[in-house]
């Protein structure tokens, strides 16, 4: 028998999903029902999400990545097309552009919001540009008024990577309830989980039908026995077990996000005028109108006197019983992207933020005292 050291028992992870007993019982019911893959639970989940987004059609998928890729396919993006996005994101965003045969074009981020810099975006548009893929990093929306104005001016589709932005708002309107196509992820780290999964908000019934075809081998069924395949689809459907988890989470989403907001506010209060901030550690933009506080990320002033390296910083946090993580290394510096001609110096803000960013613990079951403990451990390193 092994003994768990005390420090491990108290370890504060950087995130952890909150799943209630009602949901767990609901999952057991689905498992006993005899129908465990895509079926009635998915229909209920799609309907509940659609209701949240003002009645717009919503289709579920087995990951946020699949959701994004199908969004591009429904928009008709393919070989020869350029799609503009940010290099400060999870690599899924640009991988799916390559997966549909299109070319990712990166534009650096605005260091204040850490989202795509809209002052630079228009200069990246060429005659081959077909779509914009903004990412609402850490749940802070990109300026939707400006972005959609640019899209309209140039006749471009928009597939929002809102993987992190469920429940976030732009000027009082919820992300997903307006705009072109909006893609969410329900990975366990996100503000709402279905274990794995995602959902796409579409414009009309025709797009929804096309999304359904791409989701399952391109199949259209008619009558009791009819079947045809007229496009190449894949295998991206969500199981009913997963949909039941998502359904169980949805009534709690607003409470989850409210709790995250309180914790984020406490982070700002505790960091204020502390050693880390005085040493040049950057806090996120304090946006309490729009963000869903998916993450709380600080940026270390790497290379400046008195600043630890990021591995040293993260290791010291770990030794204090605190989990941290990195979201994200700049996508354009990965080998696959270097092979496509990207390299150092192309997106300086992304490179600086990517080198120094650290995600601190932020999840619904965290206590106020946990925040205080995290901030004390950060300040102690400066």
Residue (174 or 196) nearer to ligand PLP, CB: 196
Residue (144 or 375) nearer to ligand PLP, CB: 144
- Dihedral over alpha carbons 265, 267, 270, 273 (to 10 degrees): -100
Q: In this structure, are residues 317 and 7 in contact, taking their beta carbons and an 8 Å threshold? A: no
**Is 213 labeled as catalytic in the residue annotation?**
no
Residues in CB range of 271: below 8 A, 6 or more apart: 277, 281, 283, 375, 378, 379
* Burial (CB count within 10 angstroms: exposed 0-12, middle 13-18, buried 19+), residue 39: middle
Min dist. Cβ of residue 313 to ligand PLP (A): 22
Residue (63 or 381) nearer to ligand PLP, CB: 63
Question: Distances in Å between the alpha carbon of 372 and those of 69, 167, 322?
Answer: 40, 26, 12
Q: Please give the full DSSP string across 257-290, using - where no structure is assigned.
A: HHHHHHHHHHHHHHHTT-HHHHTTPBPPP--TTT
Catalytic residue from among 112, 190, 213, 272: 190
Min dist. Cβ of residue 135 to ligand PLP (A): 5
Min dist. Cβ of residue 107 to ligand PLP (A): 16
Residue (50 or 142) nearer to ligand PLP, CB: 142
Min dist. Cβ of residue 65 to ligand PLP (A): 3
Shortest CA distance to 116 belongs to which of 82, 150, 74?
150
Residue (114 or 266) nearer to ligand PLP, CB: 114
Residue (71 or 382) nearer to ligand PLP, CB: 71
Indicate the angle between helix axes 92-99 and 64-74, nearest 10 degrees: 40
Which residues are at the interface with ligand PLP (CB under 6 A)?
Answer: 63-65, 89-90, 92-93, 135, 161, 163-164, 185, 187, 198
Residue (281 or 353) nearer to ligand PLP, CB: 353
Min dist. Cβ of residue 145 to ligand PLP (A): 21
Q: Which two tokens stand for residue 25?
A: 């019982």
Residues in CB range of 273: below 8 A, 6 or more apart: none
Q: How far apart are CA 99 and CA 163, in angstroms?
A: 18
| DSSP-derived 3-state class of residue 228 | strand
Neighbours of 360 (CB within 10 A): 24
What residue is closest to ligand PLP based on CB? 64
Strand partners, 135: 161
Min dist. Cβ of residue 134 to ligand PLP (A): 10
Min dist. Cβ of residue 242 to ligand PLP (A): 11
Question: Distances in Å between the alpha carbon of 90 and those of 24, 87, 267, 317, 329?
Answer: 30, 8, 24, 23, 8
* Catalytic residue numbers, as ranges: 190
């Amino acid at each position: 028998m092994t003994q768990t050291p005390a420090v491990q028992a108290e370890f504060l992870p950087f995130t952890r999903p909150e799943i209630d007993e009602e949901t767990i019982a609901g999952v057991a019911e689905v498992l006993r029902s005899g129908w465990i893959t895509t079926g009635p639970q998915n229909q209920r989940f799609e309907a509940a999400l659609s209701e949240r987004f003002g009645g717009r059609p919503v289709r579920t998928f087995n990951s946020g990545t699949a959701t994004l890729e199908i969004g591009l396919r429904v928009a008709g993006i393919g070989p020869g097309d350029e799609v503009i996005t940010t290099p400060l994101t999870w690599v899924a965003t640009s991988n799916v552009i390559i997966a549909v045969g299109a070319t990712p074009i990166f534009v650096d981020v605005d260091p204040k919001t850490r989202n795509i810099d809209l002052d630079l975006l228009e200069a990246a548009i060429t005659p081959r540009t077909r779509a914009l893929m903004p990412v609402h990093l850490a749940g802070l929306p990109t300026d939707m008024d400006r972005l959609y104005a640019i899209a309209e001016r140039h006749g471009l589709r928009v597939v929002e990577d809102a993987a992190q932005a469920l429940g976030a708002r732009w000027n009082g309107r919820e992300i997903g309830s307006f705009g072109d196509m909006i893609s969410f992820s329900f990975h366990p780290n996100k503000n709402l989980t279905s274990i794995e999964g995602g959902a796409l908000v579409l414009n009309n019934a025709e797009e929804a039908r096309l999304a359904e075809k791409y989701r399952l081998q391109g199949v259209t069924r008619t009558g009791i026995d009819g079947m045809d395949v007229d496009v190449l689809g894949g295998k991206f459907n969500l199981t009913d077990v997963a949909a039941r988890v998502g359904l169980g989470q949805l009534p709690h989403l607003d409470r989850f996000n409210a709790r995250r907001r309180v914790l984020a506010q406490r982070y700002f209060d505790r960091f204020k005028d502390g050693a880390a901030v005085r040493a040049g550690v950057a806090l996120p933009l304090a946006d309490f109108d729009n963000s869903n506080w998916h993450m709380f990320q600080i940026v270390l002033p790497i290379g400046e006197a008195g600043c630890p390296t990021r591995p040293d910083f993260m290791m010291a946090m770990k030794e204090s019983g605190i989990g941290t993580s990195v979201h994200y290394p700049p996508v354009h510096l990965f080998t696959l992207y270097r092979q496509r001609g990207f390299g150092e110096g192309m997106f300086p803000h992304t490179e600086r933020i990517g080198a120094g960013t650290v995600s601190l613990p932020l999840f619904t079951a965290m206590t106020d005292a946990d925040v205080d403990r995290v901030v004390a451990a950060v300040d102690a390193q400066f």
